[in-house]
Amino acid sequence: DAKTTQPPSMDCAEGRAANLPCNHSTISGNEYVYWYRQIHSQGPQYIIHGLKNNETNEMASLIITEDRKSSTLILPHATLRDTAVYYCIVRGGTNAGKSTFGDGTTLTVKP
């Protein structure tokens, strides 16, 4: 699996959009970008995934650059409950299923 690089921490004001970047410059053609988040003492929660097109669901939007070397997770209206560690993972191909977690970004949503 390709490695990912994320900023270690970010702050966001409650109600504002949170934009979390991720670099995955070594991503291969058959790998998807996945985002998970982990709230303290819980297992990772799936947020969204994409291959090359931008994606949106009820939780977030995912913007993937045209060269697929980076992506941004957007939480449109962050709430205090969105405070968590966010992990960007690339996965697919013959190792599909095996997830290599980087250090993630600790997002703190402040009132």
Binding site for other proteins (CB under 8 A): 30, 32, 34, 36, 41-46, 49, 51, 87, 91-94, 96-104
Distance CA 75, CA 82 (A): 9
CA 13, 19, 22, 25 dihedral sign is: negative
| Backbone angles phi and psi of 5, in degrees to 5 | -125, 125
Closer CB to other proteins, 62 or 109, in the complex: 62
Closer CB to other proteins, 94 or 111, in the complex: 94
- What is the 3-state composition of the chain as percent helix, strand, coil, each rounded to the nearest 5? 5, 50, 45
Q: Residue 24 Cβ, how far from other proteins at the closest point, in Å?
A: 16
Nearest to 92 by CA among 28, 16, 7, 3: 28
Q: Residue 37 Cβ, how far from other proteins at the closest point, in Å?
A: 11
Q: Residue 46 Cβ, how far from other proteins at the closest point, in Å?
A: 6
